Amino acid sequence: MDDAKRELELTVEKRVQENLATVRFQARREVEESLKLKVMEKDQTITSMQQKIEELKQKAEQGSQQLQGEVQELELETLLRAKFPLDAIEPAPKGDFGGGCVALCV
């Protein structure tokens, strides 16, 4: 009877250990999957931020080029006024085709 009881206890213990191993494996797999998804989300966020940084760099460079052009137009107006003091030199409206200033000769 003691042997049967011990055998039953061993069988129960073996099943508990097997179930525990299965539960541990499933829990580990779920945690790994969750962490994998979090890493993928962070990678996506980093990629998106890098794209935004590139867009902002391009916009900053474009703005800088526009500013350089405006400064050059002002310098051109100053030079034209100095060379032709009797003429009316006025800035051309933005978006108009052609040069950056209009000269009305007297």
Say whether pTM exceeds 0.75.
no
The model's confidence at residue 3, banded by pLDDT at 50, 70 and 90, is confident
The residue ranges of every structural domain in the chain are 2-104
Query: What element of type H or E holds 40?
Result: helix 2-83
Distance, in Å, from the CA atom of 64 to the CA atom of 103, rounded to the nearest integer, reads 27
Question: Taking every pair of C-alpha atoms in the chain, what is the biggest distance, in angstroms?
Answer: 128
pLDDT of amino acid 69? 84
Under DSSP, is residue 104 helix (H, G, I), strand (E, B) or coil?
strand
Q: Yes or no: say if 77 and 89 are a contact pair by the CB < 8 Å rule.
A: yes
Q: Yes or no: say if 103 and 84 are a contact pair by the CB < 8 Å rule.
A: yes
Span 42-85, pLDDT tens digits:
999 999 999 999 999 998 888 788 888 889 989 999 999 999 98
